[in-house]
Structure formats: structure tokens, C-alpha cells
Structure 1
Amino acid sequence: MGEKELRKNMSILPVSTVSKLTGLTPRQLRYYERFELVYPKRSAGNQRLYSLNDIERLLEIKDYLDSGMTMQEIRRVLSKTNAPQISNDPDSLSDTEARKIFHKEMLRVGRWENHGSNNLW
């Protein structure tokens, strides 16, 4: 992962800033998290922290809602667009793709088992 992508994944923005940038209320942000559309990290004090990629995703969710899509439809669309393209050949998965899959799975598991900070890296 390049430095640019690494920086876009850094979770450093608090709810108040994300709310201003996206036009979404803190309640909406919590709802999208509960609906598993976005996965903010948690600070040591349990404050939600968002990355630039999270903001991009929130704006995408907002556009989908404005177009009349339901939350279920949005969830389905986002799961398809974020799913890695894996062929039947087991050797075709690149190291980068494997690392991304592993990272996402570690974040998902850590969110349920850790309940605190998700500092896995």
C-alpha cells in the first residue's frame, strides 16, 4: 500500500468534523455504523474516528439515499463494489489483494472482540 493510500486510511477525524464535511448528523453516522455501512475506528477514549476513505464512503451513501435507494439496497451495492475479484485459480490472488482481504477481516473481527481500540497495525 502506497503512502497516499495509507494516509487516506488513517482514522483521525472526529464525529464533529465528519458531520461538517458530509452534512450528516452524528445520529446518522451512528446509524450507518450500526447498519455496517461504515466502520470507524475508536480512540483510547472510545471516540469514533473516521478516515478520508470513510468520508468518501459516507458521501456515496448519502448520494444513494438521495437517489431513493433503501439501506438494504445500499448495503448490497457497497458489498459488491468492495468485494475482491477472485478467480477460480488459487494462484491468481495477488499479494496485495490477499493483504487487503486479511486487513478487512482483522478489522471486522477486532471490532467485535476488542470493543475498544482497533489498533491492529
Structure 2
Amino acid sequence: MDLSSRRQLPLFSIGIVQKLTGLTARQIRYYEQHGLIHPARSEGKQRLFSFADVERLMDVRSLLDDGYNMSGVKAKLLGKQPDGAGAAKANDKAAEPSDAELYKWLQEELQAGQTERAMSLFQGDLSRLYRRR
């Protein structure tokens, strides 16, 4: 048996997949409903997931954490062209400065002692410093 066929073996119940991925059973069923995963079924109609399914679920979770919506996730994983703003999230992130650059600019601005608030690069944008990681 080769490696690719071993990765496709249905081994895990939904409870084990929940523990491996950190997703709820409802989320897993939702992603199945949207065609992102295709778990096998046992004779008793129980879902059985393979290593490939678990990896796919981890990819879905990662993309959602990166800010993609479901249509963006589908487009990315199914290889279709993105058609909405949710799929364009990756392009927005590329144009956005990193946290290190942001902290450096803020430190330079504070050390320069600028008195004109209208000239500040960060006016009204300090919430970015408190992003969830």
C-alpha cells in the first residue's frame, strides 16, 4: 500500500477529528455540506475521516483565521477564481504593514514629538496594535 492510498484510508470518527482540528462537529458537517471535504461512511452511516480530510479541515480553519469568507475558502481550496471581496483578503494583507513595521513607525513618531495630530500616520488607527494573534 503506497503513501497516498494510506492518507485516504477512513480511520477517524468525528469526535477524534474534533480533537485534532479544534473544530466543532457542527462546523465539520457544515464544511462537508459545502463540499470542502468528503468523508467516507461506515455501514451504520457514521462519518469516517482520513488523514487527507483532517489536513483539508486544518487548511479551511487556517484560511478562515486569515480572514477569508466561505466563498474565498472554496475558491482557494477548489482552485476556482475568487469572485468576491472575501477572497481578496490575501491581497489586502500583503499591502498591510507588519506589526514590527507598525511598532517602529509609532516609536519614531512618538520620539519625534509631533504636535500636529493631523499629520500622524496612526491617527484613528491604533486599534491595529491590539489585533488578535
Give the match for residue 20 of structure 2. Answer: 21
Higher relative contact order, structure no. (Cα contacts within 8 Å, ≥ 6 residues apart)? 1
Give the match for residue 64 of structure 2. Answer: 65
Return the letter of the residue paired with 2:18. Answer: S
> Could you say what secondary structure the match of 1:78 adopts?
helix
Does 2:44 match 1:48? no
Q: Distance in 2 between matches of 1:45 and 1:12?
A: 15
Return the letter of the residue paired with 2:22. Answer: G
Give the match for residue 5 of structure 2. Answer: 6
Structure with max Cα Rg: 2
Give the match for residue 31 of structure 1. Answer: 30
Return the letter of the residue paired with 2:2. Answer: E
Q: Tell me the TM-score normalized by structure 2.
A: 0.58
> Could you say what secondary structure the match of 1:13 adopts?
coil
State the Cα distance separating 1:74 from its structure 2 match: 0.6
Q: Tell me the TM-score normalized by structure 1.
A: 0.64
Return the letter of the residue paired with 1:58. Answer: L
**Structure 2 segments unaligned to the other structure (5+ residues):** 81-133
Structure 1 runs of 4+ aligned residues shifted over 4 Å read none
Q: Distance in 1 between matches of 2:46 and 2:22?
A: 19
